[in-house]
Structure formats: structure tokens, C-alpha cells
Chains A and B, each alone.
Chain A
Amino acid sequence: MYPSDLKYTKEHEWIRIEGEQAHVGITDYAQKQLGDVVYLELPDVGRMVKKGDVFGTIESVKAVSELYSPVSGEVTEVNTRLAEKPEAVNTDPHGSWMIVVKVGDSGETSDLLDATQYGELTK
């Protein structure tokens, strides 16, 4: 059920790496845990994030959760349209990217999970 072209983290983010560009969002499992998403706080373009850093905040009706970057690099794009309609995270989690990170060190993606491993983790 998890798209095989994405990689995943134990913190329930997904990442799609294409060359130097990495789109980042949260997984279907994460959106189900959160419930109805009502607010999304994203960083400014140009911000440098380190792997494991908090890059934003997501809020549902009942809870606040932090968003962790799966990789290090510069934030080159921010999905401001998603921030205006954050409920899309519930309806299309794997299509709702939040930021694009320009990936530096490719070695640090080696511990990301593939779809099968992530599926096992969230069973």
C-alpha cells in the first residue's frame, strides 16, 4: 500500500529523491494517527536543515506534531498551497509534499526504509 518509489523514516515522513531534489511529506500512517489536519507551519525557502531537524509543525484538531527532515540540505521549495489547504494531507498524504530539499550528502539516505520495510514497521 506504500508507494515503492518513495523512501520512509521511522518518524513517518516519506521522501522522494530525484537527482539532487528530495520532496518530503508525511505518510498515510501518520495522517491516520493525527486525524483531521487543520494547520501546517512550514519553513522559509533558503533554510538549511539537518537530517533529523524539525522543519515544521503539523496540527490536527486534537494534536500537534513536529515534522522532521529525513535528509540534510537547503530548502529550495515550500508547498504554500498545501499550507492553505492542509486537509489534503488526509486525503492524499503521499501526494502532499511539504518541502523540497536540495540533498547534499547522498550517503545519509542509506538508512531510509523502503516501502516493504515501512509497511512492516507500521503493521
Chain B
Amino acid sequence: MLSKRANDIIFLVIVGIVVIGVVVARFMVLGVFDDRIEGIEEDIQSLEREISTGRNLIADYRHEVLPSESVLHRSVPEKYASDRLMFFLYAQLQLEGIEDTAERNISLSIQENPSFPGGTEFSALANTFDAYRIRIRFNTTDVTEAEDLVDRLQSVDQLFALQSVEYELPRGDSSTRVSLYFVTFYNP
């Protein structure tokens, strides 16, 4: 026969085990519920975003005829081919009367995946599309040729955006070197 003291100790130990068991069970059961609720709330947020995007899409474009994929790919082509792009750029220079002569000393280069200053629209778009930076340099006695070339390249089907232009203004009949940097995009 156990003494009363031993009996009390056993009683308290069992009460303690029961309390701990109930508390542990609480965290387990409520944890399962909370996880499920959290998962459903995430689903709700995602659905709300999708619904909002869908509504905006309908509101903005339901009365518009969307251009076909082929038309869109004229601005941002799918396949990049450096020789094809080079040929196109030389053609544009020629159309502007900038012939590839020794006096002109044309230099044309393309840089793949160029870096842009952070936080700019150039860097944001470089994350969306494949960006290529084109450097065009040539000698000229008339800097309006550079302006005309910018206008020409910014008006063709394929999208060319001027990133920078730099030149010294020519003195008299002397020529100056113009540097132009364009960015074009390809759909990845």
C-alpha cells in the first residue's frame, strides 16, 4: 500500500502529464487548422489577383482587335542572328548616305546582354526581353546625319531605342566622330 504522500505525488504527476498532453494536442490541432486557413487565404489572394487582371483585360481590350503575333514580332523578333542584324544596320546607314568608306571609318558592333543602370526602364526591359546594345561610330562633317539616323532607326518596324549619343561639333570643313548606342530587343 502506497503512502498518502506517494499517492499525491503520482496524482500530481498524472495531472501534469494530462495538462502537457492537452497543451501539445492544442498546438497540433490548431496548427493544422491554421496551416489550412493560411493556405486557403493565399489561394484567395491569388484568385483575387487573377480576377482583377482578367477584369482589367476585359475592360481594356474587349473592343480592340489585337495585332497578330507576326505583327508583334516585327517589333521584337524571336530569333537573334547577328549577321542579319549587322546587314540591316549597314543598309540603314547606306540609306542615310553614310557609305562604308575610309573617310567615314564606320565601326559597328553588337553587345549581347549589356548591363544598364539599375532601376531604369532599360534594365527592367532587359529582364523581360533579350537585350542587345549596338554601337555605331562614324566620321561626319554634319552631325544632323546622326539625328537622321536616330529618326530612321526609331521609325523602322524592329524596335531600336537610342541609349546615348555623343559627338563634338565639327569646326569648318573638318569632320568629327559620332558615337551612337542603340538598344534592340528580341523575344526570348
B is a partner of A = no
Q: Contact residues of A with B, CB < 8 Å? A: none
